[in-house]
A and B are shown apart, each in its own frame.
Chain A
Amino acid sequence: MTKRSTTHATFVIERDFKAAPAKVFDAFANPQSKAKWFGGPEEWEKSNHKLDFRVGGKESVSGGPPGGTVHHYNAEYWDIVPNERIVSSYEMHMDKTRISVSLASMEFKQNGAGTTFVLTEQGIFLDGYDDAGERERGTRELLDQLETYLNK
């Protein structure tokens, strides 16, 4: 029998973007915009990004290094306030193993001409496959990709 373990953790990342809240929000809400930055590192193979951005709507994407473990992201949207707030839950699988479930809250606040973006992730890491430190590091890299996209 697999050893079951359940580790809870919360992390918060705050970023200031030069882009206005409407543009930052669009990078999450618009499937064409989101596909441009949301995913693993450049060298990963990525497939099937699907985004149904509405309350109750779902999102999924898979990716991984060529020939390696495939990472699957499946999300559901619970609350959306245009240009201000997004709340979703998501689960991550590595191949067929569920490694975590998380509640992600995103807040978009006007800051001069730009945006203060606050992401709070309340996560449960399952059976020792991943941990909050690793997830926070990966999430910071994703937000770097978002910033590069916003500055283009």
Chain B
Amino acid sequence: MTTIAHATIVMERTYNAAPARVFHAWADAEAKARWSAPTPNVAIKYEAADFREGGRDVVRCIEPDQADYVATVHYLDLRTDRRIVFAEEVSNGAARVSAALISIELTPKGAGTHLLLTMQIASFDGADMEQGYQFGWGAALDNLANEF
């Protein structure tokens, strides 16, 4: 019997950089591979990157002594310097562990940017992906500050 667990996670950060720079950090796969690794022992490798509506990324998350997590991202709605919406599916080895709908909203705040990240997650068959998303994206958003 299969089961699906649904969750919504919201995160907010404020960065000392204008929305255009924050948006660029999401659009540029090289920058994103740098800041989205949650811990120093995890390597992020973009096997495909196509940041446009209808475009697709394939992102491999490599951690020693573990099966790689592979995320397939499909960009659905992009508004330059304002909004990014994508769907993604995550597999771990042969098992598909989750699908999620993720939105990033950027709002000018003084000379900086307020970022609102909302993740709507469906995780499959007991995979504890809510915790995974919480930890992974929380660390990534903290790292993103170092880009500016």
User: Does the CB pair B76–A89 fall under 8 Å?
Assistant: yes
Q: How many A-B residue pairs have CB under 8 A?
A: 84
User: Does the CB pair A122–B120 fall under 8 Å?
Assistant: yes
- Chain A contacts with B in 81-105, Cβ cutoff 8 A: 81, 84-85, 87, 89, 91, 98, 101-103, 105
Partner of A10 from B2, B8, B74, B87 at Cβ < 8 Å: B8
* A74 vs B87: C-alpha distance when bound (angstroms): 13
Residue numbers in A under 8 Å from B83 (CB-CB):
4, 6
Q: In the assembled complex, how far is the CB of residue B13 from the closest CB belonging to chain A, in whole angstroms? A: 16
User: Does the CB pair B4–A85 fall under 8 Å?
Assistant: yes
Known: A89-B74, A122-B101, A124-B103. A107 touches B2 (CB 8 A): yes
Partner of A4 from B8, B82, B89 at Cβ < 8 Å: B82
- Say yes or no: is B96 at the interface (Cβ < 8 Å to chain A): yes
CB-based nearest B residue for A12: B6
- Classify the secondary structure of B's interface with A: strand
Partner of A81 from B2, B87, B118 at Cβ < 8 Å: B2
Residue numbers in B under 8 Å from A8 (CB-CB):
8, 103, 118, 120
User: Does the CB pair A85–B103 fall under 8 Å?
Assistant: no
CB-based nearest B residue for A89: B87
Residue numbers in A under 8 Å from B85 (CB-CB):
6, 101, 124, 126
- Say yes or no: is B59 at the interface (Cβ < 8 Å to chain A): no
* A64 vs B135: C-alpha distance when bound (angstroms): 44
CB-based nearest B residue for A84: B2
CB-based nearest B residue for A1: B82
- Say yes or no: is B61 at the interface (Cβ < 8 Å to chain A): no
Question: Top 8 A-B pairs ranked by shortest CB distance?
Answer: A122-B120, A89-B87, A103-B101, A78-B99, A78-B89, A101-B76, A84-B2, A105-B122
Binding site for B on A (CB under 8 A): 4, 6, 8, 10, 55, 76, 78-79, 81, 84-85, 87, 89, 91, 98, 101-103, 105, 107, 109, 120, 122-124, 126
Give 25 CB contacts A-B under 8 Å. A4-B105, A6-B103, A6-B118, A8-B118, A81-B2, A85-B124, A87-B124, A89-B74, A89-B99, A98-B76, A98-B77, A101-B76, A101-B101, A103-B87, A103-B120, A105-B99, A120-B4, A122-B6, A122-B8, A122-B120, A122-B121, A123-B101, A124-B103, A126-B77, A126-B85
